[in-house]
Homo-oligomer: A and B are copies of this chain.
Amino acid sequence: MNIGILGGGQLARMIALAGYPLAQHFTILDPGADAGAVGLGKHLHGAYDDMKLLGELAETADIVTYEFENVPADVAKFLSDHTCIYPPAKALEVSQDRLTEKNFFHQLDIPTAPFAPINSLEDLEKAMLEIGYPAIIKSRRLGYDGKGQVVLKSAEQLAYAWASMQDAPSIVEGFIPFQREVSIIAARRPGGEVAFYPLSENSHSGGILRVAECREVDPLQEAAESHVTRLLEALNYVGVITLELFDVNGQLLANEFAPRVHNSGHWTIEGAETSQFENHLRAILDLPLGSTQARGHTAMVNFIGGMPDTEQVLKIPHAHLHLYDKTARKGRKVAHATIRSDDAEQYKESLQQLIILAEASDDS
């Protein structure tokens, strides 16, 4: 089969690497001449809304998938009309708009933090009387890694915060003190077969994911599976999905979902029997899903801004490195590394060493 991918960054790269053993061929649309994945298939070099290239993509690819959720609605519509797009366009539509997404969670009885739509300063002032401080205002669309968000700590901030949103349709969300953020990654085939990975426990800093640890046994696994199952079924979903959740005293509140493979699941390459990338492909190709079982203790650490020293990473016992072949610049994810060990003590020690290396190479 020929699989089209919108986007040629590290996620597309890892999808394509997982696809070669299944004899899949790839057509990758990306505006970057040297994006990390483009050497792994046929590169359609241009903008995501270039209709000529989209026509070529639809012609070449049996199935189109994507590595980012901000695929323009008319692009998704065009691809749906002319080829098969997985995950389905409905998942894009819902996940692209934080308000639609939160309402969707509510319809499915998936709890969230309190939220309200904001289209004016008045909306914001009124909503904050109910939601209380601290809270966070976000544009409904195009939020990514902490951009387009303002934390609200007091009523004096509201006018400034709203002004900084530049009239973008927004949403305000109550900031519930949570113990941790977790994500559940699941894969679903067209017929409904679903596989769940063990929860990832995620640590952020500066709005960017830094560490994701596999929680092979977690008291909230079952609740997370129940939430994501409702989402998968309501969307008649095909492919890998990621649902981010806050653990608030043992109750899970949904934050957002990504209709794609996810940074918090990169530990699955070495740490699970079948990676999220391979299971995404198996799902969209309607092939039996692979075992999602964790293999020992495992976690992933991101390298942001600065390149890791390969030798330094690989000399940490049980470390595995994934370079994205990107030029380093401030705040940019350039690599990740994982630890996988059967020995709990060795795992902790290696993970600690890896985190120290990642912090040293981070320029932010």
Q: Which A residues contact B (CB, under 8 angstroms)?
A: 13, 17, 20-23, 39-41, 270, 273-274, 282, 287-288, 290-291, 293, 295-296, 310-311, 314-315, 317-318, 320-325, 340-342
Number of copies: 2
Chain B residues in 8 Å Cβ range of A296: 295
Known pairs A273-B340, A295-B296 / 9 extra A-B pairs, C-beta < 8 Å? A13-B20, A21-B322, A21-B323, A22-B323, A23-B325, A39-B40, A40-B40, A288-B311, A295-B295
| A-B contacts, 9 listed (Cβ < 8 Å) | A13-B20, A17-B21, A21-B320, A22-B323, A23-B324, A23-B325, A288-B311, A288-B314, A290-B318
- The CA of A287 and the CA of B21, in the complex, are separated in Å by 25
**A23–B314 CB distance below 8 A:** no
8 cross-chain pairs, A with B, having the tightest CB-CB distances, nearest first:
A23-B323, A288-B315, A288-B314, A21-B322, A295-B295, A23-B325, A287-B314, A291-B318
Given the complex, which residues of B lie within 8 Å of A322, measured CB to CB?
21
A290 partner residues in chain B, CB cutoff 8 A: 314, 318, 320
Chain B neighbourhood of A291, CB < 8 A:
317-318, 341
Cα A324 to Cα B282 in complex, Å, equals 17
In the complex, what residues of B have CB within 8 A of residue A342's CB? Answer: 293
A274 to B316 alpha-carbon distance, docked (Å): 14
A310 B273 Cβ-Cβ under 8 A: no
